Structure 1
Amino acid sequence: MTTTTWLIILLVLSVVANIALTARLSVLRRRPLPLPLSPTTTVRDSPQTLHALESTRLELEQARQAADHATGLMQGRDLELGRVRGLLTEAQAQASEAAAAAEEALALRKERDELLTRLREREEEVRRRSRERDDTQTQALARIHELERRLADAEAHAEGPLGPEPVSPAIPRQLPLGRDTTADSSVDGADLGPVVVRAASARGDRARHDGEHRRDSVLLRFAEEIPTPTLLSAVAAGSPRGRWSQSAADRACRSLAAQVGRYGEGLGRELYRPDGDDGALGALLRTALQGVAHSMRLVTRGEGPGGEADDAAIEVALTGLLTRLGDDREREHLAFGVGDGALLRLRDGAWSAVFTPGESAPDRTLRLPADAARVGWARLTTLPGDVLAVCSPPMAELLLREDVGSWFAARWAGRQPYLTSFLSEVNAPVRSTGGDRSVVCLWDFGDAREARSATP
């Protein structure tokens, strides 16, 4: 039998014993007690009296025994009640522990259900993202196949914006004329470990048709005066109306290299040290471009009114880029300039403008040497695989065109072309505004070993 059954039996026995004892005591109380004898009463010792007394003594003895037995029963009942209370207390404690265990089990079961629900949600999220990734890869592959098909059709059927021979450069039909004439095209480049750079400048279609000379200039220099290894890239675009714009563009690039060398220690401190000051950096750039403007004015010294320089004949838009060399997962650059040049970035197959010296329309009309103090600049970083392009305005327009930009991106993303290939691609017969095409492309491979593996 269970503990509860024993408890019930003990309670019943205790109650029965209590009832019996109570009844016995009630009978004894109802019997009349013998009256006390007065002192003057004479008691006769008759047999009946003696017998009654003996009966009374026996009954008293029995009553005492019954009272003692009842007292024992009461003590036993108290003991049993104490034991019952202990058992009840123990049972209540066990019941409390069982209830706590049940609550803990319920909480654990609830937590398990929540974890299972979250796990199912995570699994669904992983499946959804896997489907999105597969769809993206499928779309990307379809896009690549479509571009390859369009390129093959354009090359085979002489269709599209690239002309009949998209990989062959446009050949000029006559040499340029004028006192400020220079070569029709120029190319330069270097493989500097994790940084690969190519520079090219080609005469525009309009200048070739009119027999005019190229007015742009490009420059690549190792800025050895800066303590940290740094590359200087520059593109100078001369004004089509300037008589000496080509000489001024060439002088601007060369003078910029000299000014960077002159202020190299200060530029290196403000560029690469943690305590570098942007205000001091901007002041150094303004001072350097003012030195460039002074050098440019020497080209037309004495040709202006009163023997001064003729600024209108040497107007140039200048865009420069200082690049930190060496293996680096996030490469630091400083872009600066005056005018309407641009710095573009090729990432994930798409071109985007990351810096323009003139942010507003009036600023894009600024030119050296008159506006040397209005220099614009910005810090930026590139990741391994990025391509930066310092461009003249016509070249920037070509790269940002959807039909032509994808063609250049397919040839320049992730590879370092030979100098001749790079010049051919810059000089491809693409319909444009007709201005000179000048660009410096910089490939950031992050690590020199990756650059070597990307050779075409």
Structure 2
Amino acid sequence: MTTTTWLIILLVLSVVANVALTAQLTARRRGPQPLSPATTVTVDSPQTLRALESTRLELEQARRAAEHATGLMQGRDLELGRVRGLLAQAQAQASDAADAAASAQEAGALRRERDGLLTRQRELEEEVRLRSRERDDAQSQSQALARIHELEGRLADAEARAEAPPGPEPVSPAIPRQLPLGRDTTTDSTVDGADLGPVVVRAASARGDRARHDGEHRRDAVLLRFAEEIPAPTLLSAVAAGAPRGRWSQSAAARACRSLAAQVGRYGESLGRELYGPGGDDGALNALLRTTLQGVAHSMRLVTRGEGPGGEADDAAIEVALTALLTRLGDSRDREREHLAFGVGDGALLRLRDGKWSAVFTPGEPAPDRTLRLPAAAAARVGWARLTTLPDDVLAVCSPPMAELLLREDVGSWFAARWAGRQPYLTSFLSEVNVPVRSTGGDRSLVCLWDFGDARNARSATP
């Protein structure tokens, strides 16, 4: 308890003691009063009344003083509680400030450590980049040296065997010196292909030297399509060779290929039955092929509809020789693969076996039929033949200029050495078809088909 509290208590006790002492003195002054036996009468004197009134006033003052002291004590307690709360709050703030300072110091230390690690990481990354650049440079130099040694070896081997065809750069493609002119122009060259398990196919068409020199466009087109409508998996390959001076021969060749795929699909079920069914009939097959080519001819005439005499199609502007091949896909368990070759005109189907090229089908046989062209010859005789291949055979559906190159002894052996047994990449195939060697100058177009018999025997492509 505080000093003020003790002072208030002592004041109250002194007041009470004074009151009690005054009452005792008043009683002694009065003395004992005689009482009658019958009645008792108490008479207060004026002094006694004044003393009692004085005592009562002193008691009232003492009570008010006690209440005031009590109020002061409560106010002191409230003030003391508020001071204690402020002290506790100040202590908590001081503790928080100390914790914050410690946290700030820790965060600063962690930040400095992180900055150091980031700096070290950047140094390591820069070192890794330098090492990677050095490694890549070393690998590039090593690969370049290996490539140089390989080219030197191939050049020495080629010179020793003298197997390259005549020409300054036998493995480099001819580069056009100008773009073709005319409304029927198309790309200078095109290439396509696919690896279909045991059957690998490549197709290319390149503008001939004569057309490049004269600024004329390529007039040939090639086609590779799955004949989905034939029940057995079958590949359709085709080469359409436009007439050398036909104004719309390129558009006609491209339309002939697209229409051929549509017509084969239209009669696919019947063709599959006659090709692979046990009761296939050659007469029915011949009629189907003629109907197919008639549909192709009708589609070709749409190219020049209204440009001929009397508003008819101009057949002379869209003449095309068409050679096509249907090949049964899948593994050939009986060691022979079935094919159907057909067409109109002077194209050819060649076979590479044991390093030698030989013609196995020509649509224009006998010789007078070689001058026939679509669309005019659609109603004439359609040339077709069934044939088979053995594993490691190569078939080539060719336009006339390409067939002449392959059948030449000097050039054909070069192509045979590059294509026998292993198929090339698409770019290599186009370069080889485009090889700058003396020829008649016509467009070079062909589809090559490698037969490996079984998918497990298929070899990887060569660069």
TM-score after normalising by structure 1: 0.66
Structure 1 stretch 386-395 or stretch 355-364: which is displaced more? 355-364
The answer as to 2:313 corresponding to 1:309 is yes
Matched with 1:370 is 376
Matched with 2:232 is 228
Shift of 1:162: 3.0
- 1:148/1:284 Cα in 2 relative to 1: closer, same or farther (>3 Å)? farther
**CA deviations over 1:230-289 (Å, ceiling 9, x no partner):** 000000000011100000000000000000000000000000011100100000000000
Instruction: Report the Cα distance in structure 1 between the residues aligned to 2:209 and 2:246, rounded to whole angstroms.
Output: 18
* Match in the other structure for 2:208: 204
Report the secondary structure of 2:376's partner residue: coil
Equivalents in 1 of 2:165, 2:395: separation in Å?
Answer: 24
Q: Which amino acid letter does the alignment assign opposite residue 449 of structure 1?
A: R
Distance 1:287 1:321 in 2: 16
SS in 2 for 1:371: helix
Change (3 A) 1:311 1:150: farther
| Alpha-carbon separation, structure 1, partners of 2:235 and 2:318 | 26
The one-letter code of the counterpart of 2:369 is D
Alpha-carbon distance, 1:361 to partner? 2.1
In the other structure, the counterpart of 1:191 is 195
> What one-letter code is carried by the residue in structure 2 that aligns with 1:167?
V
- 2:396 maps to 389
Deviation of 1:413 (Å): 0.3
- The answer to whether the 8 A contact 1:154-1:164 is kept is no
User: Does residue 288 of the first structure (1) align with residue 318 of the second (2)?
Assistant: no
- Which residue, out of 241, 244, 256, partners 1:240? 244
2:433 pairs with 1:426: yes
TM-score normalised to structure 2 length: 0.65
Aligned residues: 307
Q: Are 1:414 and 1:454, in contact at CA under 8 Å, matched by a contact in 2?
A: no
Q: From 320, 344, 350, give the equivalent of 1:338.
A: 344
Gaps spanning 5+ residues in structure 1: where?
1-146
Unaligned regions of 5+ residues in structure 2, if any?
A: 1-153
Instruction: Look at both structures and tell me which one has the larger radius of gyration over its CA atoms.
Output: 2
- Of 403, 412, 416, the residue aligned with 2:419 is 412
Task: Report whether the alignment pairs 1:402 with 2:409.
Answer: yes
Alignment of 1:108-127 (within 5 A): none
**Whole-angstrom distance in 2 between the partners of 1:280 and 1:423:** 38
8 A Cα contact 1:252 1:292, kept in partner: yes
Q: 1:70 maps to which residue? A: none
Deviations 1:418-444 (A, max 9, x none): 000000000000100000000000000
> Residue 438 of structure 1 aligns to which amino acid in structure 2?
S
Distance across 2 between alignment mates of 1:323 and 1:415:
19
Task: Specify the alignment match of 2:171 in structure 1.
Answer: 167
Q: RMSD over aligned Cα, in angstroms?
A: 1.7
Shift of 1:153: 5.5
Superposed, 1:65-76 pairs within 5 Å as none
How many Å separate the matches in 2 of 1:337 and 1:444? 22
Among residues 143, 152, 155, which one is paired with 2:159 in the alignment? Answer: 152
C-alpha displacement of 1:150 = 8.0
Letter in 1 for 2:225: R
1:165-206 CA distances to partner (integer Å, 9 max, x unpaired)?
Answer: 111100010001100000000000000000000000000000
Report the alpha carbon displacement of residue 372 of structure 1 after superposing the two structures with TM. Answer: 1.1
Structure 1 residues 267 and 148, CA gap change in structure 2 (3 angstroms)? farther
Secondary structure at 2:286 match in 1: helix
CA drift of 1:151 comes to: 3.2
Structure 2 distance, partners of 1:277, 1:368, is: 26
SS of residue matched to 2:414: helix
Q: 2:360 aligned to 351, 354, 358, which one?
A: 354
Give the drift of 1:400.
0.1
Matched residue type, 2:361? F
